[in-house]
Chains A and B, each alone.
Chain A
């Protein structure tokens, strides 16, 4: 472990006020598989983007084989042999496998190509002809092509951003074998970005941990660290702030029974045997790293996703077979994770967006009353202190906080019985977060049953009475927030089950 192949020193990168990378030192060793662990937003992807020339850091230096390098563009990174596989694939869908692999290599002989393609097809267990078109391949196969692309580009350093997120368990273990072969036989240096502890343990030899843009631990030999140590590093200190949770709890408002959901596009089972209920005045938190089935679950409860097994019962009405509107009529509100794009329609005015939930209350026959609509918006603006000076302006002219307040206000003003709030404070500043939390607490005191989906453990501890942890579509643990142990939750979120 003495020859550093790549070394970064004091890398700092800011976006506006946000320090995405704060004085980051990071080392890579030739022929090893490295793990880079951290929560969402910890700075893992930013660091990889710096190494691959997409982001330019304000401060810091990168050394490759002891030589200082200025990686100012992805072109230069690729000349230096650094390549990255992004979470969203960058393949030309209408081209063949061969064309994608040789895109940046105009002068490769056909025989050479076929020889290498055969060799790496075996390593990756890829069962495809080089003339097949990318769009005909499965997600797992596309990813194999993405990684092979790096090899054909002569990349010695391969940065893989959450490569297993789209894979089935079988494909994941297959990927592991291929990466080990590449590291051992071809001396490839591989970085695996992930927040799944199990994969760190299985795949990597060396692990580094990031938290809030800082490198909190680096060059740890994977075999010598325990799960608990890694979780502590990754989570840092979670504030167990307390609000009064002795409010009145009433009747069961929402029952979710035996939900199973199979995504036919990716062929992956997204949800398995989900069961819970929420009573009036209760906040139930759902903790989990995003992409473990939270969006699917919220969509099923709100009626957007209609093809699933199981039962959704709102106020003792079975709505499993019913659509969005009938659930709204039973006074269910849904604050979706994707603020602009799902909750609010981009390119449409503030006033039009403000009545998305209740526009049938502002209509007179086939007519939408201008005065009722405008009164409705004004009362929202007043009640939820939203800054929206021009109702006719496009929604995207509002700040993130005001957009979220408008969205929350619109969904909460009717005093809903059941609220699904998905990542309600993601990306907001401290004041806006407080305002949103207070809205949810108010609503809880008024007797709403609230299902709070979040990645932010501070938030979940502060607001919820009980916590469920979701991992790969299954509820793996359930906790009472008063006496829960944060490390246990962290381990459950990272997929470690004892």
Chain B
């Protein structure tokens, strides 16, 4: 406690007078409130930027609102867009139960899609429903495979998973570029590097309108992740292992094994995001399978404090934001305004959350 004084020497005066202490009781809805406040801050920041550009924030936001959730069709598009975001976010949240970070969701999404195409071009099933099921399972396995090396090196050698999962992104995206320019290149796609389209028989059908069955999968996985994290024995053991490896060993829990399986399951979640995206939206492997979903998913998971139901809600909102952002180009506003709002929401929410968790106290005894 006293030694920190030395490190903070230039701020010694401040540090000596005030101290941050953890609040005894934290409001259970604090994450929700901080998200709301963070979102409000983000809207204000967005407005300021719009005003600087001589655009009306009111017009822009109402247009975004109308075109993202104003009709059944646009709402469906938003939810379809949210699906991979939510699935990848859930994977990040599961891995974070053991206090590890998955920065590799982007690569796992690509790997999920690659796995789907690999199985699709090598096997044929007469029953299309079971074929779709098998393809989805293989996308899950693809995502899990993608995080295998980070998981093994973490558990055996303690290699920092943030770096290894990040690096796998570049490997997998490189692999994708190789595949769509080489062995899988579709001759009919002219000069656009992409694999051939999968057959219509394995398209994920729509529930109604444009809303894909992928969204249903997303709901089921949200429920599963919520159960796994909060109600299962495995989730409990993950929490203890994440809290303290020594306590886990003391309790007879194999902490490394929990971390390993948490990483594989989390990678699988991101993989299935890629599978769903391919089967319901893009229908082929290309470098456009993911538009940064794996990275935005980190924001979604962090804002919600790694809560699956929160990830579902915030992920849906972020899906709507990107749909809204993509249409406001028509009135001459850059689509990046949506990205700015997403990023500022994260910053705002995390800062507000900090003040829910800590309080600044004056030191009495000097």
A-side residues, CB < 8 A to B, are 49, 54-55, 73-74, 302-304, 323-325, 328, 334, 336, 338, 341-348, 352, 355-357, 359-360, 363, 366-368, 370, 390, 392-394, 396-397
Contacts and interface: CB of A to CB of B under 8 A. Distances in A.
Nearest to B28: A392
Given A346-B244, A347-B243, A366 B251 contact: no
Given A54-B3, A342-B246, A357 B251 contact: yes
A343 B233 contact: no
B25 interface: yes
Given A55-B2, A366-B232, A396-B22, A348 B250 contact: no
Contacts of B247: 341-345, 356
A396 B26 CA distance: 13
B256 to A, nearest CB: 14
Contacts of B249: 304, 324
A338 B233 contact: no
A342 B240 contact: no
A328 B252 CA distance: 9
Contact of A368 (B22, B99, B231): B231
A212 B2 CA distance: 21
Contact of A336 (B28, B242, B248, B250): B250
Given A304-B250, A367-B231, A368-B232, A352 B2 contact: no
A342 B2 CA distance: 24
A359 B171 CA distance: 41
Given A302-B250, A324-B249, A352-B239, 18 more contacts: A55-B2, A324-B250, A324-B252, A328-B252, A336-B250, A344-B247, A345-B247, A347-B244, A348-B240, A352-B243, A355-B236, A356-B240, A359-B251, A366-B234, A367-B233, A368-B235, A393-B25, A397-B22
The 9 closest A-B pairs by CB, nearest first: A345-B243, A324-B252, A348-B243, A345-B247, A325-B252, A345-B244, A342-B246, A356-B251, A347-B243
A352 B233 contact: no
A344 B244 CA distance: 8
Contacts of B251: 324, 356-357, 359
A151 B22 CA distance: 41
Most buried by B among A324, A346, A348, A370: A348
A390 B246 contact: no
A338 B239 CA distance: 19
A344 B239 CA distance: 12
B355 to A, nearest CB: 17
A473 to B, nearest CB: 22
Given A54-B6, A348-B239, A366 B233 contact: yes
Given A345-B247, A348-B240, A367 B232 contact: yes
Q: Summarize A's interface: helix, strand, loop or mixed.
A: loop
A396 B247 CA distance: 14
Interface string B214-241: 0000000000000000011111100110
Given A304-B249, A342-B250, A344-B247, A359 B236 contact: yes
Nearest to B241: A345
B24 interface: yes
Interface string B18-44: 000010111010000000000000000
A334 B250 contact: yes
A343 B243 CA distance: 11
Contacts of A341: 244, 246-247
A291 B251 CA distance: 23
Contacts of A323: 252
B30 to A, nearest CB: 12
Contacts of B250: 302, 304, 324, 334, 336, 342-343, 356
Contacts of B28: 392
Contacts of A390: 25
A333 to B, nearest CB: 11
Contacts of A393: 24-26
Contacts of A368: 231-233, 235-236
B233 A359 contact: yes
Interface string B317-337: 000000000000000000000
A393 B232 CA distance: 20
A420 to B, nearest CB: 11
B258 to A, nearest CB: 13
Contacts of A73: 6, 9
A331 B94 CA distance: 33
B244 A342 contact: yes
Contacts of A347: 99, 242-244
Contact of B240 (A336, A352, A396, A397): A352
A54 B251 CA distance: 38
A423 to B, nearest CB: 15
A281 B319 CA distance: 65
Nearest to A390: B25
A130 B236 CA distance: 49
A352 B236 contact: yes
B16 to A, nearest CB: 10
B232 A54 contact: no
A74 B6 contact: yes
B231 A370 contact: yes
Given A359-B233, A368-B231, A397 B24 contact: yes
Interface string B242-272: 1110111111100000000000000000000
12 contacts: A54-B3, A54-B6, A323-B252, A324-B249, A345-B243, A347-B99, A348-B240, A352-B236, A352-B243, A356-B240, A367-B232, A397-B22
A102 B251 CA distance: 45
A393 B23 CA distance: 10
A342 B239 CA distance: 14
B254 to A, nearest CB: 9
B230 to A, nearest CB: 9
B228 to A, nearest CB: 9
B140 to A, nearest CB: 19
A326 to B, nearest CB: 9
A393 B28 CA distance: 10
A393 B22 CA distance: 11
B225 to A, nearest CB: 15
A341 B22 CA distance: 18
Nearest to B250: A342
A304 B233 CA distance: 21
A363 B232 CA distance: 8
Contacts of B233: 359-360, 363, 366-368
A407 B252 CA distance: 16
Contacts of A342: 244, 246-247, 250
A345 B240 contact: yes
B20 to A, nearest CB: 14
A8 to B, nearest CB: 18
A315 B75 CA distance: 66
Interface in B64-98: none
